[in-house]
Amino acid sequence: MNLYPSAVHRAGLSVEILIPQKHFPLTKTFFLALFFLFSSLNTSAEEYVFLNPHEHVMRIAMDLTGGRPSEEDFAIAESNLDSVINRYMQTPEFSEQMMWLANDIFLVRTDFVEYFRDSYEYDRREVRYQVAKAVGEEPLRLFDYIVRNDRPITELVTADYTVANATLAMFWNIDYPGEYGSDQWLRGRYLDGRQHAGVLSQTSFFYRYNNTITNKNRHRANNVTRMFLGDDHLLRNVGSELRIADPEQDLLDLTRSNPACLACHSSLDGIGAHFNGFAIGPSRHSEYARENFANYSQQGVERSQYVLGRDPSYYGYPSNGLKDLGQYIAKDSRFARTMASHFYRFLVHRDLDYTDRDLLTQLVNQLQTTNFSPKQLIKSIVLSDEYRSAGVMGGSKGKSDPVESKTVPVRQDPAVSVWLDLEKSLEESKSKTPRIEEFIELAEFHAQMAGQALQQESITKGLPESKAQPFKVLTPEQLHFLGKSLVGEEWAGYEGGQSEPEVFPHLEYNTGVKVAAGGYDGSLILKRRWTVTPTFMLVLERWAEVLAEDIYRKELRNSVPWGERVVFKVITGKEDPIEAEPSIKRQIANWFLRFYGETVDPFGPEVQEIYDLLLTYSGRNQDQEKTDSQHVNTDVRVAWQHVLEVMLCDPRIATY
């Protein structure tokens, strides 16, 4: 079946969806969650319906570490959730999540540095990849350093240092205190005498946001105000009748006199003047080109009056350089509001808008009263009512019982009736799981009803009152980390015409795959998508297929010592399914806890369903009327591979 050909082909994914129509354990809770989403969009008076404590810890672990909580985490969280959160924020996995938060802001991560290839060992693949990772991560590493050490988030624009590893230090001429060739990221300083002001003085940032002779650093200036102040000059409301410039006048003069031009250039050019010390480009491949681009020239700043007709300034206030610019931004009230919005969007999966004025004010106060502590801000968000909610119901906020979150009454309307009819038809079918056609029907229904609800609310009341989400969807990067933490594997290598090295996994760097899974490419698509789409399900299926194949190759096809096993901890995966039934069921129950965070009876119906699936795939289910020949293999190891595919692409993996 050809699904959305252009998007799927661009993502490099298979378009033939082969899902067995029997014994595919898609959870009913997934459908009920979607059903609750549709019905809650029209709620009038709101009362949050909270996740139970177990689900809340699961959500926190996924957002802060990208993985599942341990049994110990669940136990400790019952009496001391604060200590669990603090421990999560000390892990290496937390640093990875913070760097992706930073990349949502800066959009700098890359797998390829196009220029300066003659200035280093470009022909050596490992060196080429090290340079690409280092240049693409400098702003992200600074962000992580600040958050991990709980330094004021204002240091993003005021820090009197940068962070670098040995590769970046060589490439941009940075004083690096570590050993030669070290990949450890440490504090350092540029050696060209530039003023340090956090990201504002990082050459890697200006490599990503380039400059031309005619642009005069306005592109860079606008990205600075957009990222740190929420002020995108391209979105300013300028009347069309004022956009016509006088052809008799010089364009530079118009930026200082024409009212339409002044609407942006009065602030944009003064900020851009700070960056005249950075070279035009990047361009060319020689060592001279790299050294020229990496060098900051104070004379360039002094020529601002000649280039722009303006000296460095900040919204009309005079400035003496990058350090002053950083101080201005840090003290601007918009900086705190914008940074709070960035953190909130990453953790709650939605943008703040004008209806969130009170919430945003609370977040800003939180920052200001804690000396701009990023960890305190994160903690306040993950403990907030909206974060730990699974929806809303009628009544006043704050009175709902978390235990009752799965049985909340909702208003019956035509949309709900359609959904119930659809769900009933699925339950009555012999198949345990809908076909891919039914997935598409669900996705289309989701889009239609959500859109209709938003349109209806905008007509009657403005925007919908309810913004609480019944579940959250994994980002591509979270899916990548989850694979590593659950089964010790990652999706890398050849895929659909693209061959990426293992240092650039598909769910982190392959933009075709990432966009299909709700991510961004950093150039045309700049924001994430927080919805379940057919292409997301395709990516999830392919991810599960690749990981199951890797598990087969490493743990099932070879003899692996018990201490080195990641997936098969109770059995070897080579036992006869009928003779070893008790042990196999205990292994499956272990996977339910590990994959989904659910404790199930090894001899209960959930495990029995997976066990029957194993019998079917291994050709040992004699009661089955008809067997799908494509999935039957008398080798039980291959049968286990198919079982793992099914379990790993269950929606409980992708939602939390």
**pLDDT tens-digit profile of 191-204?**
999 999 999 999 99
What are the respective helix, strand and coil percentages of the chain, to the nearest 5? 55, 5, 40
**pLDDT for position 287:** 94
Q: Which residue, of 135, 157, 190, is where some domain finishes?
A: 190
Q: Which domain holds residue 380?
A: 333-387
509, 581: one domain: yes
**499 shares a domain with 562:** yes
55, two tokens: 């689900």
Count other Cβ atoms within 10 Å, centred on residue 310. 20
The whole-number pLDDT of residue 240 equals 58
Q: Does residue 264 sit in the same domain as residue 322?
A: yes
Tell me, yes or no, whether 1 lies in a domain: no
**Using an 8 Å Cβ cutoff, are 2 and 15 in contact?**
yes
* 257 Rama sector, left if φ>0, alpha if ψ -120 to 50, beta otherwise: alpha
399 and 381 in a common domain: no
How far CA 64 is from CA of 91, 92, 107, 382, 489, in Å, comes to 9, 10, 20, 9, 20
Claim to verify: residue 179 and residue 274 sit in the same structural domain = no
Residues 6+ apart with CB under 8 A from 214: none
Say if residue 595's pLDDT is above 80: yes
Q: Is residue 35 part of a domain?
A: yes
Hey, what amino acid is at 426?
Answer: L
What is the pairing mode between strands 317-318 and 313-314?
A: antiparallel
Q: How confident is the model at residue 241 (pLDDT cuts 50, 70, 90)?
A: low
**Does residue 553 sit in the same domain as residue 646?**
yes
- Domain membership flag for residue 41: yes
What pLDDT is recorded for position 401?
39
Instruction: Please give the pLDDT value at position 244.
Output: 58
* Pair 232, 256 in one domain: yes
pLDDT at 97 over 60: yes
With a cut of 60, say whether residue 476 has pLDDT above it.
yes
* pLDDT (average), residues 649-653: 92
How deeply is 153 buried, as exposed, middle or buried, from its count of CB atoms within 10 A (0-12, 13-18, 19+)? buried
Instruction: Find where tokens 């022909």 sit.
Output: 123
100 and 128 inside one domain: yes
- Does one domain contain both 184 and 251? no
Beta strands, E only, 285-329: 313-314, 317-318
> Looking at the predicted structure, is the pLDDT value of residue 611 above 60?
yes
Q: According to the model, what pLDDT value does residue 436 have?
A: 52
Q: 291-346, pLDDT tens digit by residue? A: 999 999 988 888 777 777 889 999 999 999 999 999 999 999 999 999 999 999 99
- What number is the average pLDDT over the span 217-226? 96
Same-domain pairing of 559 and 576: yes
Shared domain check, 517 and 500: yes
Higher pLDDT, 301 or 124: 124
- Has residue 13 been placed in a domain? no
Q: Which of 413, 433, 466 is the last residue of a domain?
A: 466
Highest mean pLDDT out of 49-58, 143-152, 261-270, 391-400: 143-152
Work out how many domains the chain is built from and give that number.
6
426 lies in some domain: yes
Residue 196 lies in a domain: no
The whole-model pTM stands at 0.82
Q: Where does the pLDDT of residue 393 fall: very low under 50, low under 70, confident under 90, or very high at 90 and above?
A: low
pLDDT at 315: 96
pLDDT grade for 456, boundaries at 50, 70 and 90: very low
> Of 127, 159, 190, which residue sits at a domain end?
190
- pLDDT greater than 50 at residue 435: yes
203 within domain boundaries: no
Both tokens of 82, joined, read: 């604060």
In whole angstroms, give the CA distance from residue 617 to residue 641. 9
Whether residues 477 and 614 share a domain: the answer is yes
C-alpha separations of 115 from 161, 200, 207 in Å:
25, 21, 10
Does some domain include residue 15? Answer: no
